[in-house]
Structure 1
Amino acid sequence: MNTIADRISRHLLKRIRRLAVLELYQRASDVGLLTINFPFGEKKQGIAWQVSGFAASGLAGDTDRARRLVGRALKRAPTTLHDGFVDHDGGEPINRMAIEMSGSEPVYQVKPKHVSAGAKPAQRKKARSVAIYPMLSRQLNSPSMFALLREFLPPPNPMQVAVALLIARAVGESVTDLDQLLDVLMRRNPVILLKIPVTGFERQFGAMLEEALIAPFFAELTDIRGDRPLSERFRDTRPEMRKRKIVTASGRNVSDLTRRNLTRYLSTAILGDAAPLVIVDETSAPARPEITAVSDIVLQCAGIDQALITDLLHVCLGIPASESCSIMETMCLDPNCLGVDDLGLAVRPGRTAKTVLGLLASLAEAAGADENEDDDKKVRKGRSSNPLSAFRDKPKNTPIDMILPEIEPSTDAAADKPNSVISGMAGEATTTASAHHVRSLRVEHLSGYGEARPWALDLKDDLALWREGALGWHEMSTKLMLSGPPGTGKTTFARALCNTIQVPLIVTSVASWLEPGFLGDVLQQMSQVFETAREHAPCIVFIDELDAIGSRGGGRGGDDRNEHYWTTLITRLLELLDGALKTEGIIVFAATNLPDRIDPALLRSGRLEKHVIIPPPDAHALAGILAHHLGSDLASVLASAPEHAEPGPERKATHTLLSVPVHSKSSEADAAAGKGSAHV
């Protein structure tokens, strides 16, 4: 390891050690061994620990007794010592300490007082107690307490140590002068690309960033796509600490982005608030040219090798490098396939070098078999020049269906051409046929949608002006929510809107978002829907069953154990809906049966601000529905109607149908449909 890599590794290992010490002191304060003071008024500014009065007097005795009492309070045993376990402040290995007291010598050095043989047993016991436990006049001081506590530090986390060693190696192989690295880090918006092909490196690196194990501050990670954080954590683990913002990008997540979206995300990050952009790529594929162009510095190295495993075992388990090397020479171990999580499974306290290396060899063999299987799947999958292959390449569980609009008919025959459906799960375009002549499904032909119908027709006109550049997207009303009982035609309106304004329709639902279950996967599903809509803008996003997402702060029977889960979902949806710039080119149409369960924030201005309630159909609406579905068969059906007398409502509906002209495409037919409820 060269000088730069050696300096970086020592620095990062000391930071790991420092965090372990701080967590140990916090644990000691929780059990009453230490007291916490805030010299500057709050925890974010700084913390000062000192030995508590109870511990100062209660532990001022025999060393072994004090060690047993501390271990019982902390519920852990002293750590096995080894050379790689370096103290964070003094830079020296931990040594067993002698308990000292304020203004006195160590207890074990106190000479017992001479007691005459003729003294009473009680006097001899009292004299011996004063000699060994002089607690009445002397107390344990804070430095001695800290030294005693550090004997109970847990061994280093092998995953954190492995990431630290990989970072140090990347810096050592990519930077010839540390001043060059410091110059980049001091810029307003530095962009650092860290490319290390080790599975699990991205997630562990993000977690260490948040815990101040890499940078000298606690970090708040923000993904450039608004996706899951790099650490894959969604709960703030240290809300009481002051944090700095770091924008991150995952090489795995940006690999499937289009060039347009990737450049937009990168430019927004580097031209926004003053914050570093850290791009971490654990894939073996070359970095994309857009990422290479934006990076101020590129830090890269190879994956895990035998030298790194040797250093890891020395730091975590105290195993000499010569012993590890001699064992690896006699066994077949290919560590290139190992991931960060594999190291965490095998490198455990109390295990010998032979045991650990044997486990790593079996894990590497299993990982290599999985990697070959994945490569075979990629070869069989192949690539297609079809423009719809982008949908087929998506995972099978992607809940995205895209419906293409019908082409404006020039003749009656053309009007009967059905919709084409592109399914993100099936990956194929399908076409359905009609058995009889029915009017094409358009908003102009629907009955009884109230304010939703003129809203759609106005949107059609505004969209034409927007395409010409005469109208801004923020000046248009592009978000609507329909509510009503099941079967009132909310989904039908979405398909009709697609045909009327001639833009694609993406069909999704809250239920399909929630299908994966895990919060990170659900958020990714939601973001993917809107990302697909941006790629095909202008486009309609139809969200069905919106009430399933619920409302923040209630509505689930008083059970708030999963409140964080639902609050995060609603917050993400608010982010996706908020602002004309984020949703330019995206028309959002939502449907619900229970509008009272919708979070009020979703209905505010700029989001689903237009709300139309659809009641059950009345006689006029039913007449329009039947006229639409019967189409050219309307005249023959009416001719077969019985002549006998009918009750009032049925007679009224029949007369309404009789008033509908046979040529159902005329404007008179639409007027005859009345102002009733929705088209079913």
Structure 2
Amino acid sequence: MIRRSSAAGRARRSDDNADFFRTASVKLRSDGSRGGDGTTQADADGKTNPRVAHQARALLDAVRASAMPLRAGDVAAALLIAQAADKRGQPPAEIAAALSMLSPMVTVTAEVEGFEETVLGLLVGGVLAPGRVAVSEGSELSRSGSLRFSRARDPRWHAIVFKASELDDDGDWRERQLGFAAESGYPIVGISERGGVIPEALRRVAAVHLDCGPLTPDIVMNTMLVVLGSRHDDRLDPEHAAVLTLSDLALAVRPGQSPERAFELLGELGRRRVRAKQETGSTGSAGHATAGGLAKRKPGRDSGSGADVIQPRMPGSTTSDRFLPRIETLAGYGEAAEWAMSLKEDLELWRAGELAWSEMSTRILLSGPPGTGKTLFARALCNTLQVPLVATSVATWLEPGYLGDALRRMSATFAEAEAMKPAIVFIDEIDGIGRRERRGEWDQYWTSIVNRGLELLDGAVKTPGVIVVAATNNAQAIDPALLRSGRLEKHVDIQPPGIAALAGILRHHIGDDLEGIAASAAV
């Protein structure tokens, strides 16, 4: 994509930009002309500001009308944006005029984790703008100033988006990237979520800044109303609502879920995050998601288990989602992939009450040389099953040194997964747990570790909702009792990929570019 263009082209682009934001601002007007039933009841019971409800209708209608499935995170983000627009205290006409300026810039912030990717997805999907938007992520601007836009389906617009979580640490280079973006003449959108900061220069020049704040009980309950068709009679504690993430909403508020169960799950997640915040200063969430579905920043660690808690991501329409690891899109896993897809089907039956947990295969050991994708499998399984992943290792368990502390960490890992069930426990380097046949000064120590591992695996069999994935480079070093029936009975050896698997891996990463690359090869 050429950054500079002719004068005529720039003039046309300026007209397009003005039309882009002028039309987008209509979605925030409080004319109430479109009666979204998701907010009508909220108006009637007096729990929502009528102006906010009217402004939210257009955004919610756009979410419903988009090709994307109705998701709690999308609905909550739309409600947050509508609420922020109302709090500005400006008439819609003034906002529209500000957005109609030449090469307009907008910043949107929220104290909610997951907000950046969700808003980006809504923008690309045509929910926040009049038509689909191809975006160029500002953090990826090269030093040549060239722009690379995502491949949105039939895009009507182009815009440059800066996500606070991915901005360069080099302040001077960050300012240069902003300068490159401004020179391009494209609309610029800055987005930040909890813990992120939009560059001061961008905030100062933005035509409109929307400060969405944290999730509130009203936002959460109205999200339940829109997605589930009804909501719980009680209200969440404001402190609990404020620490929830959009991933929490996605897990608890799903089509088919009862409002009572959704309310129970949200309350439990909120209480856990408040406790984690009090103990560690962190909400214990997974941080900012990347293309791999994990966090660029260090994930929040549970103070008791030392494990990383990773929330699943759903594939959307952004460029990064192309590389989102899922069992369905990864190659080379053979029997392990078959096990995972069978588990996905069984999990749906279990949720529907049609299959007992004891009848399912929910524990697997992956062995193989380093670099064969055992850890990636766990991440992909998390996204495929859409359940949380509690990731740990034997080294993490043994880190405190003292036997009592190590045993407590082991138990806390499984307890944490049980609290979020259904959930996955991933244990890396499980061969480090040792064997009870050791002889020497520390034999009682290792015997106790192995026995606790056996106890926890036996408990996982009896505890519905806990899936166990273990990985090792040396299966022969594992105590045989851990591999017996009812424990890690399913064992799959993963070897380096062959030709067919390599082709699948390349296809996953290259995507639609494969034919073009093949055609460019020298004959």
Which has more radius of gyration? Answer: 1
Q: Comparing both chains, which one has the higher relative contact order based on Cα–Cα distances under 8 Å and sequence gaps of 6 or more?
A: 2
Q: Is the TM value for this pair above 0.5?
A: no
For the aligned pair, the TM-score class normalised by the smaller chain equals 0.3 to 0.5
- In the superposition, the TM-score normalised over structure 1's length comes to 0.34
- In the superposition, the TM-score normalised over structure 2's length comes to 0.44
